[in-house]
């Protein structure tokens, strides 16, 4: 018999946001999105989140955190088009 509940492997984090996934960081170019940040990581304004490159490997767009917070979403499908949501950052309470 187990005497106690196992301890949590991570601490709880409280964030704020309206849940609108259409208002994330939007791609302004088409290409292949290479991510540098992980979901759940803390980022600061201006941190590099990823890059969009073309078929030749040339940089089309660098994607930076517009605000400090926690990465709640990072696009995992590599191919992106103009207007695709690339990431969502939530403010920590």
pLDDT in tens, 20-56: 766 799 999 999 999 999 999 999 999 999 999 999 9
pLDDT over 70 (residue 1): no
Question: Could you state, in order of their start, the residue ranges of all structural domains in the chain?
Answer: 25-92
Look at residue 21 in the predicted model and tell me its pLDDT.
66
Burial 50-80 (b: 16+ CB within 10 A, else e): bbbbeeeeeebbebebeeebbbbebbeeeeb
- Higher pLDDT residue, 39 or 18? 39
User: Confidence class of residue 87 from pLDDT cuts 50, 70 and 90?
Assistant: very high
- Rounded mean pLDDT of the chain? 89
Exposed/middle/buried for residue 43 (C-beta within 10 Å: 0-12, 13-18, 19+): buried
Tell me which architecture the domain covering 25-92 has in CATH.
Answer: Beta Barrel (2.40)
């Amino acid at each position: 018999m187990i005497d106690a509940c196992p301890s949590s492997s991570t601490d709880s984090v409280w964030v704020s946001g309206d849940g609108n996934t259409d208002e994330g960081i939007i791609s302004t170019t088409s290409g292949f999105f290479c991510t540098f940040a992980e979901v759940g990581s803390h980022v600061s304004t201006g941190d590099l989140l990823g890059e969009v490159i073309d078929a030749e490997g040339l940089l089309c767009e660098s994607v930076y955190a517009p605000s400090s917070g926690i990465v709640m979403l990072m696009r995992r499908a590599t191919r992106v088009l103009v207007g695709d949501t690339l990431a969502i950052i939530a403010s920590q309470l």
